[in-house]
Chains A and B, each alone.
Chain A
């Protein structure tokens, strides 16, 4: 029974479907948070979740069943039957960038809160003319 389920789950199609469902679920959480939450930090969290969702989707879908990590090791002495290294590199870059932006955003938020005591998006109305 369990083996059957595992075998079913081990199909490429099914794995990818699960990845899509999961990542889009995560994306939904982030998007919902973005739309419904007003607190700046919560908004940043939502953005972070959305980013992660996209990363997971990308990595998950670019994974090929039966291929190994793109790295030479004891078992692999030549660069064949390996997974695509580019998504890894891209996601590595994107994660760092996303982290940097969010960190900067949080520092803005902290400073803004210090100056004005406001911490919500809908309170940010210095420029109402």
Chain B
């Protein structure tokens, strides 16, 4: 089997939507879910059968052409993304009965395009190809966030689009400079030639890459737009933004950092940028009352944490980063999906929603997710957090350690404020129960959180390999160039 299916099939599905739409109202929905399920199974099958990295050549072998590289770390992301998108789609199957999107076919196309582009970002080994997927992901996300066509949603879409456009200008600028000075677009060749460049040009390229990707990965001075987007968009789409899109950008960004710019100074800068990002986001979140915005801040904080983890450039910290990423994706998926149902039911997005909420099931899984985000032991978040703190301490960055711990403490303030609301003794609203399918989806995700927390050794081998592959620039270069 080939990794190209992860991209080609969703695209095909997208182009072929009018045909599927002929099968009635549910045809498109079920076929979309079927597609995602088969992609997920495919990824599992690839994972099981894969004994070494698979390089998928498109048209012409690298370094001249584009190749998709499926190694231990990208299969992790592929599995994660397909799984999350599948879960989200399954959830939507029921959500649409109450609150459907207008012109649903387009909605499913967007979700699939998002999936394809996220996977493309992760797999691609060509920087211009990455730019193309960057744009596909971007444009799908813009439309998704404006989909409801309310003033808020449109504002969010516009803001997202404008910042995205600026990001892509800087990214193209960086790619142009890279091509002009190195004559190649292949990541491996660039990484070989990059160190030999003039320092000024290196600076310019890294600055433009930082701005281009930084705007998308939501790092501190460049994340001014994020919260508005989350607030304006539907909670359901926020789930994808937070759990899938950002993660794909993040992986690409750090993949590029490892390949091009493994300077100690630069990564140290990123390290503190991440810590500051986390701290600021958590502090701002303290006073937030809009739930979507609140969890957007929380996402920003977690991205800061991930930034710290990946900037450490050690196998252990990357392992930690992957654990955190996994835990965060699962938890945010649970939270935003639940919020989507809750908003629809109680017609409010305020934090006091949780006082009114009357659904023990949702309460419990949201609490578990939030505790996992806080890094409570026996839940998924702890493993990563502990490994990260450990590797920070081993590097002697104790100030950073303090900053992160402080940020975590502040984070716990508003999480527990919310949990406190859930236990409030005020009068509850109507009893609210989800359909079986939705429960099953949320339960699956939550069980994932608990399982990883209790038995991290189930996946620890895999993740450790993934992280060592991710940081191993040399073997990536060999893989990509050796195929020639």
Contact = CB atoms under 8 A, between A and B. Distances in A.
A binds B: yes
Interface of A: 34, 40, 43-44, 47, 50-51, 54-55, 57-58, 61-62, 86-87, 90, 93-94, 97-98, 100-102, 104-105, 108-109, 111-112, 115-116, 121, 124, 126-127, 129
Interface of B: 128, 131-132, 135, 138-139, 142-143, 146, 149-152, 154-159, 161-162, 164-166, 168-169, 172-173, 175-176, 179-180, 185, 227-228, 231-232, 288-290, 293
Contacts, number: 104
Contacts of A129: 288-290, 293
A62 B180 contact: yes
B162 A97 contact: no
Contacts of B293: 127, 129
Contact of B228 (A43, A115, A127): A127
Contacts of A97: 132, 135, 168
B143 A104 contact: yes
Contacts of A90: 128, 175, 179
Nearest to B290: A129
Contacts of A100: 139
Contacts of B155: 112, 124, 126-127
Contacts of B172: 51, 54-55, 58, 94
B143 A101 contact: no
Contact of A112 (B131, B139, B158): B158
A86 B126 CA distance: 13
Contact of A86 (B150, B166, B185): B185
A93 B179 CA distance: 15
A57 B138 CA distance: 24
Contacts of A44: 162
B161 A105 contact: yes
Contacts of A126: 151-152, 155, 232
Given A86-B179, A87-B179, A54 B173 contact: yes
Contacts of A51: 165, 169, 172
